[in-house]
């Protein structure tokens, strides 16, 4: 399952603003990860982003979970639950989905048509991609779509070229320090800061602000599938700071 948050061409850009992958049943965590990627415009996430004024949901019950709707409510974002079998209110998204199927997924080994009773047009000649290889291939295609694919709907520009020239204003850039509490998961466990940092998913996360804080009880908030950093808070939920993966930390 690939969760995708897009910018429709009549609102800004026309490219993929954020996405996340899961090989399990989709849930709020993966959607919050896509939302965070879509909103942030700093570091590896930009330049496309900003607080959405409205979001249209394509009949996905996972998108309408209490956690996700609470996050949208915190941003002041209007949520529009679209009716079933009504592609016309979301033409840009439908076009992107069709393009991804025809230009990417249909060419991958193991692809099956959406019609269960129909025999496959061709038998697979190679083993299906591993989850890691599939993810890398989809991300490469998304990069190509946003940076090299020239769209007639964007006057021959790529989505990345069209973004800065679109007159639609960016309503709000949400700082990462304000965004973390609405779009990060908490596994409910209390941990302790040690000389190695905070242990999470069998890996150590460090930060300069942890100096002198050994033995302090903390909670970890995280974004699914993004292992490079976590947010650390105290047991009451107050944010203490960001921690980076130990073997990827900066020299400082």
Question: Nearest-CA neighbor of 201 among 236, 233, 182, 225?
Answer: 225
Question: Nearest-CA neighbor of 15 among 174, 168, 150, 106?
Answer: 150
| Overall size of the chain counted in residues | 252
CA 59 to chain centroid: 19
Q: How many CA atoms lie within 13 A of 221 on its CB side?
A: 22
Give the pLDDT of residue 218: 95
Q: Kindly list the structural domains of the chain, giving each domain's residue range(s) and its CATH number in brackets, ordered by start.
A: 2-165 (3.30.420), 184-248 (no CATH)
Question: Nearest-CA neighbor of 207 among 245, 150, 181, 151?
Answer: 245
For residues 51 and 77, what is the distance between their CA atoms, to the nearest angstrom? 8
For residue 186, what are the CA distances in angstroms to 41, 135, 154?
23, 24, 40
CA 45 to chain centroid: 9
For residues 209 and 20, what is the distance between their CA atoms, to the nearest angstrom? 30
Task: Match 């496959």 to its residue by tokens.
Answer: 120
Query: What pTM was computed for the model?
Result: 0.62
pLDDT in tens, the chain (252 residues): 454 454 443 344 444 577 777 776 666 777 777 777 788 877 777 777 888 888 877 666 666 667 677 777 777 888 877 776 676 767 777 777 888 888 888 888 877 776 655 565 555 567 878 888 888 888 888 888 888 888 887 788 888 888 877 777 666 777 766 676 666 777 789 999 999 999 998 999 999 999 999 999 999 988 766 778 888 988 887 889 889 998 776 666
Cβ density class 188-220: b for 16+ within 10 Å, e for less: eeebebeeebbebeeebbbbeebeebeebebbb
Under DSSP, the state recorded for 128 is P
Q: Is the bond into 47 cis (omega within 30 degrees of 0)?
A: yes
As given in the structure block, the two tokens for residue 248 are: 């990827």
């Amino acid at each position: 399952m690939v969760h995708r948050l897009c910018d429709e061409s009549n609102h800004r850009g026309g490219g993929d603003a954020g996405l996340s992958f899961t090989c399990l049943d989709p849930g709020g965590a993966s959607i919050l990860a896509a939302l965070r990627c879509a909103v942030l415009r700093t570091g590896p996430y930009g330049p496309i982003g900003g607080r959405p004024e409205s979001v249209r949901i394509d009949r996905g019950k996972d998108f309408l979970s209490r956690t996700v709707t609470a996050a949208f409510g915190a941003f002041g974002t209007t949520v529009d639950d679209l009716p079933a079998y009504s592609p016309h209110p979301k033409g840009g998204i439908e076009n992107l989905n069709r393009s991804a199927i025809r230009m990417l997924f249909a060419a991958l080994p193991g692809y099956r048509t959406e019609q269960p009773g129909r025999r496959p047009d061709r038998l697979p000649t190679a083993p299906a991609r591993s989850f890691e290889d599939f993810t890398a291939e989809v991300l490469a295609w998304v990069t190509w779509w946003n940076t090299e694919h020239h769209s007639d709907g964007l006057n021959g520009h790529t989505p990345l070229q069209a973004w800065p020239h679109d007159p639609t204003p960016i309503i709000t850039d949400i700082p990462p320090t304000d965004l973390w509490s609405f779009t990060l998961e908490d596994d409910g466990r209390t941990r302790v800061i040690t000389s190695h940092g905070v242990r999470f998913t069998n890996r150590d996360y460090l930060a300069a602000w942890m100096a002198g804080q050994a033995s302090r009880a903390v909670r970890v908030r995280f974004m699914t599938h993004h292992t490079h950093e976590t947010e650390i808070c105290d047991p009451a939920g107050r944010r203490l700071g960001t921690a980076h993966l130990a073997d990827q930390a900066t020299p400082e």
